[in-house]
Structure 1
Amino acid sequence: MKQSQPLLTIVVPCYNEEEVLEETAKQLTSVLDDLTAEELISSESKILFVDDGSRDRTWSLIAMESTKNDYVTGLKLARNVGHQKALLAGLEKAKDKSDCVVSIDADLQDDVSVIRDFILHYHEGCEIVYGVRRCRKTDTFFKRTTALGFYRFMNKLGINLVYNHADYRLMSKRALEELSRFKEANLFLRGIIPMIGFKWTEVIYDRKERFAGETKYPLKKMLSFAFDGITSFSVAPIRFITSLGFFLFFLSVIAGAYALIQKTLGYTNAGWTSLIISIWLIGGLQLMGIGMIGEYIGKIFMEVKGRPKYAIDIDLYSERLGHFQHDETDMLMEERFI
């Protein structure tokens, strides 16, 4: 059993979420009020909004909300680094001061009421609790089909993903400590976190329509995210290219033997079409193979440089806990609304 009143931090990565942010703060505040009243969490629990270099009023709204809501704090990143790195920034910032952390997107598609179930499972000893969608009725047919294919493909590659789970989860302090030991720059948290182990469970919920604003994951980003997940955890694509290369080699040996026999028997004819098709086929496969190898080399290049994943511009979370990040309070108050 966990301690009776753990300090919970809800981490919410945000990118251009001005249309939904106030409602998100309102609903999450209500959840924390209810959990505090039930004595399931500490009254010192927080909501940490992570502004991932937004170009709208997202940060101004976070800073303003923090002045009137004791739960709300903020972390402003110096530039846009992407959802996964922004989420990691929030998790790492909350790790030292929290007993457990819940991560949730700002769009309110995930049912905030099941955070209570997360906490109950945490009290029962679970270190990780995954929020899992009951179904995908709100998705288009294309998105539903491609998502199902992606999960099945990843499982066949031996990559352990929780089906229909995104980034809505609870992690204990111990699980976050283990996560901090993973140093790769190419982040795919949905694949990394199941590798941690520890006692875990799932909470099933119904996903809602987006409260306001537009999705930050159009088709192009979804495909890029899926490809990053595959190449970050498996060398299967390179092995596929190698296998295809061997297959075409043996096929060319058979074709060469056939051509030699035809020439010996005097049946040869000029074959411009077959020649051009062969050249295009082999050339295309070579370029595909080189591109696939280049993708992995590029990932190695990013890893060995060891550059920081993000830079923090303003840290209201530490300030709220009594550790000011700026020497002059007036300067901080001025920067809040920039």
Structure 2
Amino acid sequence: MVTTPILEREAAPRLSVVVPVFDEQDVLPLFAERLRPVLDGLGVTYEVLTVDDGSRDATPAVLEGLRRRWPELRTVRLRRNSGHQNALTAGLHRSRGQYVVSIDVDLQDPPEVIAEMLLLAESAGLDVVHGVRTDRRTDTPFKRWTAGLYYRLVRRVVGAAVPANAGDFRLLSRAAVDALTELPEHLPVYRLLVPWLGLPSGEVAYARASRAAGRSKYPLSRMVRLALDSITGFSAAPLRMATWLGCAGVALCVVLGGAALAAYLWGSVVPGWASMFVALVFLGAVQLLCLGLLGEYVARIFTTVQSRPAYVVAFDSHAAPRRHAAAGR
């Protein structure tokens, strides 16, 4: 007779909290100290699934220490740094809860809002509840300006269904998580993918706090990369922009050519390098921009054709007892 392992028979928790972490040894104890009372007070079964995205500091040791004192804490360790969105993917794919909340560890998104999210989802029958930042005074002016520019751009390109100032702090139902899991995305951007599903959704507003400890893992280069992935992954508008730039360049050349011909016929040709220099630089810039936009799309095609996994799991504390049980049989 084939027996089912205990961990496979156990009921799924009501709530899973997915937390991507990367070099967060300083803030992890503060995060656990604040998150645990919130979840214990919900009166539902839960798991906290931390995804260690190849940390190089003492993060794995800190997580192991927390796990010994917090039975609901589960750790998944990736073999290498795969990026925030891929670490989030690993957490969503391995979560077991009927509802799944994703939250960053830096405490800029308040864990106390999770209770409000769960209550709204259950009472209104929603599959998605977005956490929307209504107060970003703790961010730098440059951060607020670039964030506003990003959301205006993606809402114009992708559609108004994308909530403004909604990051990766959200609640998903099991149906929403399963729908995301079935998508063949190699470069996911969940703040756009989730609204794209078109599932019943709501919003919970909150004030964004300052980072509790440590340094931000999202410098300007990663924000630019996120913007490029967002646009190229959800719209062909940049390719059309390259076409319009080419048309504008041709029109400008026709105008300049007509002006040069008219000057020649009137006998007022004045030799000079400035107009020629500006025309060459403009046309060269347009060509390079168009090639760069094409390269972004070709790179996405290349990544998809390779079909390499977006992440590789080295360890899952939930699966470890199962392996030990299998070895003892």
Structures share a fold, TM > 0.5?
yes
Residues 126 and 200 in structure 2, CA contact (< 8 A), matched pair in contact too: yes
What CA distance in whole angstroms lies between the structure 2 residues aligned with 1:22 and 1:105?
Answer: 14
- 1:293 counterpart residue number: 294
- 2:39 counterpart residue number: 32
Please give the per-residue CA displacement for 1:242-299, whole angstroms capped at 9, x wherever unaligned: 1111112112112212211221222222122211221122112111111111111111
Report deviation, 1:122: 2.3
Aligned structure 1 segments of 4 or more residues deviating by more than 4 angstroms: 325-329
What CA distance in whole angstroms lies between the structure 2 residues aligned with 1:63 and 1:204?
Answer: 33
Instruction: Give the secondary-structure state (helix, strand or coil) at the position aligned to 2:82.
Output: coil
Please give the per-residue CA displacement for 1:225-253, whole angstroms capped at 9, x wherever unaligned: 11221111112122112111111211211
Residues 52 and 80 in structure 1, CA contact (< 8 A), matched pair in contact too: yes
Report deviation, 1:30: 0.9
Instruction: Give the secondary-structure state (helix, strand or coil) at the position aligned to 1:317.
Output: coil
- 1:99 counterpart residue number: 98
| Alignment RMSD | 1.7
The one-letter code of the counterpart of 2:242 is I
Residues 48 and 317 in structure 1, CA contact (< 8 A), matched pair in contact too: no
Report deviation, 1:328: 6.3
Instruction: Give the secondary-structure state (helix, strand or coil) at the position aligned to 2:249.
Output: helix
- 1:240 counterpart residue number: 241
Deviates more, 1:85-94 or 1:234-243: 234-243
Please give the per-residue CA displacement for 1:7-28, whole angstroms capped at 9, x wherever unaligned: 1111110000000111212222
Please give the per-residue CA displacement for 1:145-177, whole angstroms capped at 9, x wherever unaligned: 121121111111133321111111111111101
TM-score scaled by structure 2? 0.91
- 2:189 counterpart residue number: 188
- 1:68 counterpart residue number: 69
- 2:165 counterpart residue number: 164
Percent identity between matched residues is 38
* 1:19 and 2:19 matched: no
The one-letter code of the counterpart of 1:63 is E
Please give the per-residue CA displacement for 1:184-222, whole angstroms capped at 9, x wherever unaligned: 211111100111122110011111111110111112211
Residues 1-338 of structure 1 aligned to structure 2 (within 5 Å) = 7-36=14-43, 41-42=44-45, 45-94=46-95, 97-124=96-123, 125-159=125-159, 160-319=161-320, 323-324=322-323
Report deviation, 1:315: 0.5
Instruction: Give the secondary-structure state (helix, strand or coil) at the position aligned to 1:110.
Output: coil
What CA distance in whole angstroms lies between the structure 2 residues aligned with 1:197 and 1:6?
Answer: 26
What CA distance in whole angstroms lies between the structure 1 residues aligned with 2:151 and 2:62?
Answer: 36
What CA distance in whole angstroms lies between the structure 1 residues aligned with 2:326 and 2:270?
Answer: 85
Residues 9 and 46 in structure 1, CA contact (< 8 A), matched pair in contact too: yes
Report deviation, 1:6: 5.8
Give the count of matched residue pairs.
315
Residues 158 and 231 in structure 2, CA contact (< 8 A), matched pair in contact too: no
What CA distance in whole angstroms lies between the structure 2 residues aligned with 1:229 and 1:267?
Answer: 51
- 2:7 counterpart residue number: none
